[in-house]
Amino acid sequence: MGLESPFVPYLATLKTAIQLTPDIKLLNVELEDPDIRANFDYKPGQFALLSAFGEGEAPFGIVSLSLQKDGLEFAVRRIGTVTRALQELEPGDTLGVRGPFGNCFPLEDYVRKNIIVIGGGIGMAPLRPVINRILERRNDYKELLIINGARTPQDLVFQPEFPAWMKAPGTKLELTVDRGDEDWKGRVALVPDVVKELAPSPDSAIAIICGPPIMIRFTLARLRDLGFKDNQIVTTLEAKMKCGLGKCARCNLGEKYVCQDGPVFTLEQISQFLEQP
Amino acid sequence: MNLFASKDDLIRWIGELLKEHIVIAPVQVQEQTLFQPISKAEEVVFDFNNTTLSPKGWFLPPTETLFSVQKDDGKVELVPTQVERDAVIFGLHPCDARGIALMDKPFLEEPSDTLYRERRNRTALIGLACRQAQPECFCTSMGSAPDDPSNVDILLTEVEDGYIVQVVTEKGKTLLPKGLAEYKGKVPAPPELKAVPTREVISAMRELFNDPYWEQVADRCLHCNICAYVCPTCYCFDMRDYADKGKVERVRSWESCQSPGFSLTAGGYDPRTTKGERLRQRFYHKLFYFPEQFQDVACVGCGRCVRDCPVNIDIREVISNLQQVTEAKSGS
Ligand SMILES: Cc1cc2nc3c(=O)[nH]c(=O)nc-3n(C[C@H](O)[C@H](O)[C@H](O)COP(=O)(O)OP(=O)(O)OC[C@H]3O[C@@H](n4cnc5c(N)ncnc54)[C@H](O)[C@@H]3O)c2cc1C
Ligand code: SF4
Ligand code: SF4
Ligand code: FES
């Protein structure tokens, strides 16, 4: 028959698994077939479906940058069956990868703009490649403000990269937690309040937000208060997904299929959906 | 050119087809008429109301293995399901044939579903025109007709002493038995059906989304999913892994947007928590999203959901009610 079924994943090997927070692991995954590996091109914001064979398949943002020499990276938060099974894999174990799927953050359109990246909890996952791509092409963009929130200091996701982000020119990293601990000297505040306090200017700016729905809702309101227009606010939509191919209809929201048309949308686009998320 | 076959000719023909094909035809199983693979021509039922389930299950089975995971010395191999044999679906009504043509749109759109496509390419459709309509039929309001030949390879129409054999496609030609005479008689007129205001409602759907009508009509829905399972055009599916005695398979099976939790994400967020939101999704997918995406309504008017819904949620009535709501709105 020759043609491959779009439901059959590529086989891949788990190279490393680093515990980033108590419930999030960074998985580094290498596709087995060298040809597929060499051509697996993707953009910040795109996702893949990972298979833990025997348990199932689930979507995850690809948090590395395309055609990096050292494999594909995923930040997986343990929450249910598939995520638990993925976290239990040992280096050398086989898993499946389908993708890349979905649209991406149109970073080329944001050149010469100020970028505000706002992430809560595991919502930082799709934002990590955005930050790292901007830092890789630092001169293409103006100021970069990163606001990263989590429940507790331990839950802040990409801590090993914080020093590099802080040191980068024209870049500010603002951390905040809902609840501190003895060692925490930073902010204890909710993300929307931090946005209000820092009051980034909407002039020639794009705000990219990802996090739990409640954080997104209140952050949007603060950004609008600051004068951000709906076409300056970009987010990713959460949806239940199965096929990733626009066929199973699980991620259907109004006229859109989040797996194909999304997951990245501007607030302006979302406000025009017949069915509101 | 139309040909003629007596009932005996048809039985002999089905017998011929069985030599090289899997033949799926309506058969009587207790109280139900179902499309099933047959082993001899005599099993076929010619005179039937729409079958309990549509023949979509041949292309999108209620459950099927997409691939199995094989482990050899720790090395993993994924073995996709293959389509082994050519098939013929015999005796499907024009509405069901249109249902298949509509399912083609999402499944054959690139990246196409290879398993579906392979089954589709290797299956011929021999249709049977409806000489009588059932009270729940409304195919003529949904782009088809009791004598519609457009989605089959051959269409049979019953006449007094046998069947008119109308060859529609080249594929159909290759299936014909030898020696059928030309049919020179009249082609009987199809039955007349009551119309439903589909067109009017489709153009008003955008404005009806937030109408309280949806919660009202859905109040009695039991989310039993029968409407979706009997429907020739409902195609939502689920995918899961099954592991049994070391054998691991990825299985897909029918699902429905009427199931509570259908759109619930792991994070706990769900865009459709009420019955009204879920029932609205069923009708919007059929009457608005599918037409926006593929330029056709995703209903063929077979009447199965009308017949089988335990609480009588009737799509014809829903469409008529929506028209009334629209008229009331524009009138006030
Ligand atoms: C585009 C996209 C990108 C994503 N990127 C990431 C990422 O980078 N990192 C990440 O960690 N996650 C990401 N996610 C989320 C991730 O896909 C989910 O966390 C994952 O699918 C969970 O799968 P699971 O099998 O572990 O959970 P499940 O076992 O499916 O369920 C998780 C939770 O839901 C509950 N639950 C399940 N079914 C029901 C039900 N019927 N009723 C009530 N409760 C139920 C379970 O009890 C459990 O608490 C992304 C999602 C999308 C759509
Ligand atoms: S058949 Fe009727 S009761 Fe069952 S899910 Fe469909 S509309 Fe609801
Ligand atoms: S919605 Fe009802 S009438 Fe329309 S095709 Fe499906 S089962 Fe038949
Ligand atoms: S996940 Fe199947 S259609 Fe989007």
Query: Is the pLDDT confidence value at A1 over 50?
Result: no
Mean pLDDT of chain A: 94
Check if B247 contacts A (Cβ < 8 Å): no
Q: Is A240 in the pocket of ligand 1 (CB under 6 A)?
A: no
* Centroid of ligand 3 to alpha carbon of B234 (angstroms): 8
Share in percent of chain A as helix, strand, coil (round to 5):
30, 30, 40
Closest residue on chain B to A81 (Cα)? B266
Report ipTM (2 d.p.).
0.91
On whether the CB atoms of residues B99 and B300 are closer than 8 A, the answer is yes
**Short-list B307, B17, B97, B249, CA closest to A51:** B249
pLDDT of residue A70: 82
Rounded to the nearest 10 degrees, the angle between the axes of helix B315-331 and helix B198-208 is: 60
Please tell me the number of Cα atoms within 13 Å of B224 on its side-chain side. Answer: 13
Domain locations in chain A?
Answer: 10-101, 107-236
**Short-list A213, A19, A223, CA closest to A117:** A223
Rounded to the nearest 10 degrees, the angle between the axes of helix B114-121 and helix B94-108 is: 140
On whether the CB atoms of residues A56 and A241 are closer than 8 A, the answer is no
User: Taken in order B34, B38, B41, B43, is the CA torsion positive or negative?
Assistant: negative
- Separation of alpha carbons B6 and B250, rounded Å: 46
* Centroid of ligand 3 to alpha carbon of B236 (angstroms): 14
Distance from CA of B248 to the nearest CA of A (A): 5
The C-alpha angle A95, B255, A260, rounded to 5 degrees, equals 60
Q: What is the block-wise mean pLDDT of chain B (332 residues), using blocks of 10 residues?
A: 93 95 95 94 90 95 95 89 94 97 96 94 96 93 95 95 95 93 92 91 92 94 94 96 90 94 89 93 96 95 95 95 89 64
pLDDT of residue B332: 56
Non-local CB neighbours of A161 within 8 Å, separated by 6+ positions: A128, A132
Non-local CB neighbours of B223 within 8 Å, separated by 6+ positions: B258, B259, B260, B275, B278
Q: Do B241 and A55 touch (CB under 8 A)?
A: yes
Q: What's the pLDDT tens digit per position in A61-109?
A: 999 998 777 899 999 999 999 999 999 999 999 999 999 999 999 999 9
Q: Which CATH superfamily is domain A10-101 in?
A: Translation factors (2.40.30.10)
Q: Do B240 and A56 touch (CB under 8 A)?
A: yes
**Short-list B48, B64, B164, B44, CA closest to B96:** B48
**Torsion angle, alpha carbons of B200, B205, B210, B211, to 10:** 20
- Separation of alpha carbons B29 and A27, rounded Å: 52
pLDDT of residue B267: 82
Residues shown for chain B:
332
**Helix/strand/coil (H/E/C) assignment for every residue in A111-155:** CCCEEEEEEEHHHHCCHHHHHHHHHHCHHHCCCEEEEEEECCHHH
Q: What's the pLDDT tens digit per position in A111-124?
A: 999 999 999 999 99
Q: Do B263 and A9 touch (CB under 8 A)?
A: no
Q: Please, what is the end-to-end C-alpha distance for chain A in angstroms?
A: 41
Q: Do A246 and B82 touch (CB under 8 A)?
A: no
Domain range A107-236, CATH architecture: 3-Layer(aba) Sandwich (3.40)
Check if B119 contacts A (Cβ < 8 Å): no
On whether the CB atoms of residues A62 and A47 are closer than 8 A, the answer is yes
Grade residue A2 by pLDDT with cuts at 50, 70 and 90.
very low
On whether the CB atoms of residues B52 and B34 are closer than 8 A, the answer is yes
Distance from CA of A136 to the nearest CA of B (A): 32
Domain locations in chain B?
Answer: 2-68+83-182, 201-237+255-331
- Separation of alpha carbons A201 and A190, rounded Å: 19
Check if B246 contacts A (Cβ < 8 Å): no
Grade residue A3 by pLDDT with cuts at 50, 70 and 90.
low
3-state secondary structure of A192: helix
Residues shown for chain A:
277
- Separation of alpha carbons A73 and A91, rounded Å: 13
Query: Is the pLDDT confidence value at A200 over 60?
Result: yes
Ligand 4 atom at minimum distance from A241 CA: 1
